[in-house]
């Protein structure tokens, strides 16, 4: 589908569900894949072709050191995918100050740190792609308020990158998944096995994305096919943000 032979792509949050999907997909498309995650053991169990580093993305100095070390082996980063993310409290009622700080650090500041680590080499080559992985939660109140606020900030940061770094040959876009079938849903599915069937009525396509769907969107925005696309938010959400079929049916007394 895509050919990224010889391209160096850096993927953060590589050991998570979406991260693993991104790593596997881009390896299959011929890229040199640099994988960052805080879980060293999880990285060790992944594909041996990956070049990995365990690092705390909230530590700017550590991020720069890790990326510089990998780039010394692989060459400079052509494509940065800021995929790392996490959510603490599910609602404002249970949100603690430390949860707020944690979610802003890993979902927003970490992306900034990674850009800071790769931008100089991109500037020198007048070429580079930055893809930030956001969420539909950035525009809808769907729980996890600190996570959602941080990802909303990531949208604004993406647009700033596109505007200010575009003249330097760098494109920046954001992919916003809805529900994605990963192991992150295992605990909720264990509590309520029918959770996916119950949720499908809210999605126009009556289905959910899987990690490969996210990888396909990232690949398109990273490729020359999208050379004139920058500063956009691309939902990969089975139509969730397009409209609400349940509400539409109740308003119109029609079947949607």
Report the catalytic residues. Answer: 147, 151
Strand 233-236 relative to strand 8-12: parallel, antiparallel, unpaired? unpaired
Euclidean distance between CA atoms 113 and 69, whole angstroms: 15
Euclidean distance between CA atoms 90 and 62, whole angstroms: 29
Euclidean distance between CA atoms 179 and 235, whole angstroms: 11
State the DSSP string of 82-112: E-------SSGGG--HHHHHHHHIIIIIHHH
For residues 37 and 54, the answer to whether their CB atoms sit within 8 Å is yes
Euclidean distance between CA atoms 204 and 130, whole angstroms: 29
| Token pair for 38 | 């805080």
Euclidean distance between CA atoms 9 and 130, whole angstroms: 10
CB-based contacts of 247, cutoff 8 Å, min separation 6: none
């Amino acid at each position: 589908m895509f050919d990224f032979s010889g391209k160096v792509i850096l993927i953060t949050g590589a050991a998570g569900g979406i991260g693993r999907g991104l790593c596997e997909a881009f390896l299959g498309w011929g890229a040199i894949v640099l994988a960052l995650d805080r879980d060293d053991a999880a990285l060790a169990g992944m594909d041996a072709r990956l070049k990995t580093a365990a690092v705390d993305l909230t530590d700017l100095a550590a991020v720069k050191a890790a990326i510089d070390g990998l780039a010394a082996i692989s060459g400079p980063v052509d494509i940065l995918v800021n995929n790392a993310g996490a959510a603490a409290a599910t609602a404002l009622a249970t949100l603690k100050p430390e949860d707020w700080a944690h979610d802003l650090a890993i979902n927003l500041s970490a992306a900034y740190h990674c850009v800071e680590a790769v931008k100089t080499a991109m500037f020198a080559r007048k070429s580079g792609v930055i893809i930030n992985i956001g969420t539909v939660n950035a525009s809808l109140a769907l729980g996890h308020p600190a996570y959602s606020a941080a990802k909303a900030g990531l949208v604004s940061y993406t647009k700033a990158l596109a505007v200010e770094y575009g003249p330097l040959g760098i494109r920046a876009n954001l992919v916003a998944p809805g529900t994605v079938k990963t192991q992150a849903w295992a605990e909720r599915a264990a509590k309520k096995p029918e959770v996916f069937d119950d949720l499908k009525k809210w999605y126009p396509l009556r289905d959910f994305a899987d990690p490969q769907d996210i990888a396909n969107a990232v690949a398109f925005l990273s490729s020359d096919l999208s050379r004139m696309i920058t500063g956009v938010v691309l939902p990969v959400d089975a139509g969730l943000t397009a409209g609400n079929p349940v509400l539409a049916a109740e308003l119109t007394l029609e079947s949607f």
